[in-house]
A = this chain, B = another copy of it.
């Protein structure tokens, strides 16, 4: 389907938007690289799911959201978190199991939420956040607010019953929610060529009577156009949309991945479609930002992540003493 609203300024045509877009994408890239490095050096524990290569979909989908709009995220959620504006230091602190981390060291990489920026939480359960997003959208609708919810999930998640039930609920109640499927071609090792018998995940929208659209997830402007149109519809009360952003993860699924299920060539080919490089070229060629500014943004990202990592490192470790009292929220009334 195509959006009913006239195309809005492309992020690459507006200096301020272009700046924010690149800043977000570079911060995600550098954050993930730092995490990768910390794991490689054995300084981080647990597991991790990096979104390097997927910076375009996270950034494009969150670019024009209001701070009071909400998102639900996934196990591969660092990018969503950063794109929505979370504190890099508190994120890094969480991954390092620090008391200053978003979850006070209780959740780690897969459970970061940030109420201040409307992040209702990453999720360790594939598709676990989708019904929660529908429910949050229901709350906003009942509260008479014009807030919307963007729910991120992967291609693999669309084979879970939770996806089906949540999209149906959102459709029949025309909830203000945008379902953003980051189709990176694999659910762990299982390719979409085998896991679904259709060409595009977006075709599943028809089963719920909701619009569905497939865009190039590595074209941050295409993602912005599709999601922004869906956001307008949702705010107007015209209900949910399924947006499929086709992208690719450069790294393995998690640290234990040996990449046996895909070829070096495939990975190399997708690396040539770097969403950041593509957008930098666009803004340069359009004369929106000059080389010096671009370099400045890159340098700032490196410095910000370095500072966040240092500050996080210096923070005290998570405390165990109040662990029993952390299970339940305190009864007010």
Contact = CB atoms under 8 A, between A and B. Distances in A.
Interface of A: 159-165, 168, 171-172, 194-198, 203-204, 206-210
B171 A165 contact: no
B162 A161 contact: yes
A291 B292 CA distance: 94
Contact of A165 (B161, B208, B210): B161
A207 B209 contact: no
Counting from the closest, the 10 A-B pairs by CB-CB distance are A161-B161, A197-B209, A164-B164, A207-B207, A171-B197, A204-B207, A198-B209, A172-B197, A161-B165, A161-B164
Nearest to A195: B172
Copy number in the complex reads 2
A198 to B, nearest CB: 4
Contacts of A160: 161, 165
A196 B173 CA distance: 10
26 contacts: A159-B164, A159-B165, A160-B165, A161-B161, A161-B162, A161-B164, A163-B164, A168-B195, A168-B196, A171-B196, A171-B197, A172-B194, A172-B195, A172-B196, A196-B208, A196-B209, A197-B208, A197-B210, A198-B206, A198-B207, A198-B209, A203-B206, A203-B207, A206-B206, A206-B207, A207-B207
A234 to B, nearest CB: 15
A187 to B, nearest CB: 12
Nearest to A166: B161
A171 B203 CA distance: 15
A162 to B, nearest CB: 6
Contacts of A209: 196-198
A301 to B, nearest CB: 40
A172 B192 CA distance: 10
Nearest to A162: B161
Nearest to A212: B207
Contacts of A165: 159-161, 164
A198 B208 CA distance: 6
Most buried by B among A160, A197, A210: A197
A250 to B, nearest CB: 26
A36 B206 CA distance: 40
A198 B196 CA distance: 22
A165 B160 CA distance: 6
Nearest to A206: B206
Contacts of A172: 194-197
A317 B203 CA distance: 54
A159 B161 CA distance: 9
A55 to B, nearest CB: 29
